[in-house]
Amino acid sequence: MARSTPTFDPKGLTIEQCWGEACVICHKRWPRPRVHVGRLPDDSRVFACDDCAPALRIPVQQTRGRRAKIRA
Averages of pLDDT over runs of 10 residues in the chain (72 residues) are 74 92 92 91 92 77 50 44
Residue 72's pLDDT is what? 43
User: pLDDT value at position 24?
Assistant: 93
The whole-model pTM stands at: 0.69
| Cα–Cα distance list, 29 to 21, 34, 36, 51, 55 (Å) | 6, 11, 15, 13, 18
What's the pLDDT score for residue 48?
Answer: 93
AA identity, residue 10? P
In the prediction, which pLDDT does 15 show? 94
Phi/psi of residue 14, nearest 5 degrees: -80, 170
E runs forming strands in the chain: 35-39, 45-48
